Amino acid sequence: MEVTATSTDVTIGAIEGPEALEHTWYLYDATDTSTPLTSGTLIWNGVDSRWETTVDRGYLASGEYYFSVAMRSIHSGTTMKNQTPTFILDHQLSYSLPTVTYDQNTQTFASGSFEVNSTYVPHGTLDDIEATTHDWYLYDASSGGTMVASGTLAYATGEFSIGNTSVADIQEGSYYLRIYIVTSQAAMWVNGSSVAFVLQHTLTLSGAAWGFSAPQVTLSGLTATSSYGPIGSVDNIEATNSSYYIFTSTGQFTGLSGSLTYSSGEWTAAVDVSSLAAGDYYIYAVISDGINEASTAHFDFTIEEVTTTTPPTTTPTAPTTTTTPTAPPSEMDPTMLIILLGGVGAVIVIVVILVLLRKKRS
């Protein structure tokens, strides 16, 4: 504060250092004028010919103030100036912009530690008691500043920070932080747009078990998990694509593809490959959740060439017929007939034959 004091006696003029018997200042709260908050002695500045004082505003709470001055010289009694123009004191908070780390694998973000300092000296570097509010807010940069998440800053050993915080339930996009801190003496909104980060979700396939037993390729145990919380485990409703594709070992698409089957949290398939020619092939599965698409590792299988065995050909031969020569009836030996025919029944036949032979001779 700077003051010039002039006597009403024109012969005296300005009251300078040695002439002032009293030169006191008083500081009042504009909302309570009954008692001064503090007071002190004005100092004479001979170079600039004025009375001065310096008050450390850092110890004053935020508010509206005014000074009152009392002067008395060797030439006059005490004169009190009732009020100077009021002035408003607003304390400020400051901090260094923290670094922000985003981990896509865990879908979390965190900030580095930072101090918050106040121009109000009794507070100085704030703690979590002096900072009656110490919050963070996450805003969507693409939607014109829509707030999507918030929380309370952690505090430890003189510094504030944001601990590991999940963003799994937040959609993909670009986001930035704002810090809001309030004390009894000051409030601060800080736009942290310079530490914006891009949030990207992932889709993970696991558990795929392939098998091949001609003529069928099978898949079992496949699960699909999205890092986006509202989706989580991808089912047949959330999947926008769930297919298998078969290629030759040289990478040529065979035209054979189809849909996976979903049941009880797992994706499966049973693929008939009997239409494929002999050769080497691979198959893989693809699942999309509408945000990301992921595929399994290739599964190789081989279709063997089918060989047909022809039984040996044999030429049939005609059966061998054995002919027993017989003597003409006129020369047949009766004894031979008995030997050939034998038996009781044969004797009768022989007798008949002998009778016939005798008749023929006679």
Same domain, 169 and 210: no
Q: Are residues 224 and 177 in the same domain?
A: no
Position 337 in a domain: no
Q: Respond yes or no on whether the N-terminal peptide bond of residue 230 is cis (omega within 30° of 0).
A: no
Would 359 be classed as within a structural domain? no
72 plus 133 within the same structural domain: no
Confirm whether 13 is domain-assigned. Answer: yes
Same domain, residue pair 177 and 230: no
* pTM beyond 0.85: no
| Residue 346 placed within a domain | no
Is 287 within a domain?
yes
Query: Residues 153, 217: one domain?
Result: no
Do 246 and 224 belong to one domain?
Answer: yes
CA angle 16, 17, 22 (to 5 degrees): 100
The answer to whether residues 97 and 188 belong to one domain is: yes
Q: Rounded to whole angstroms, how far apart are CA atoms 361 and 329?
A: 12
Domain that holds residue 273: 203-303
- Closest by alpha carbon to 91, among 159, 23, 21, 186? 186
Q: Two tokens at 243?
A: 């297919």
Number of domain units in the chain: 3
pLDDT in tens, the chain (362 residues): 545 444 444 344 456 656 667 788 899 999 988 899 999 988 888 888 788 888 898 999 999 999 988 877 766 666 666 678 889 999 999 988 788 899 999 999 999 999 999 999 999 999 999 999 999 999 998 877 799 999 999 999 999 999 999 999 999 999 988 889 999 998 887 655 556 789 999 999 999 999 999 999 999 999 999 999 999 999 999 999 999 999 999 999 999 999 999 999 999 999 999 999 999 999 999 999 999 999 999 999 999 987 766 666 655 555 554 444 444 444 445 444 333 334 444 444 444 455 455 555 55
Q: Are residues 138 and 216 in the same domain?
A: no
Burial of 54 (0-12, 13-18, 19+ CB in 10 A): exposed
Under 8 Å between Cβ of 25 and 37: no
State the CB neighbour count (10 A cutoff) for residue 134: 20
Going 330 to 332 to 333 to 334, the CA torsion angle's sign is: negative
CATH number reported for the structural domain that contains residue 153 in this entry: 2.60.40
Question: Two tokens at 173?
Answer: 């996009």
Residues 82 and 109 in one domain: no
Assign residue 246 a region (left: φ > 0; alpha: ψ between -120 and 50; beta: otherwise). beta
Which of the listed residues 71, 89, 107 is the one where a domain comes to its end?
Answer: 89
Report phi then psi at 56, rounded to 5: -75, 105
Are residues 172 and 110 located together in one domain of the fold? yes
- Of 211, 148, 134, 205, give the one whose Cα is nearest residue 176: 148
Same domain? For 177 and 157 the reply is yes
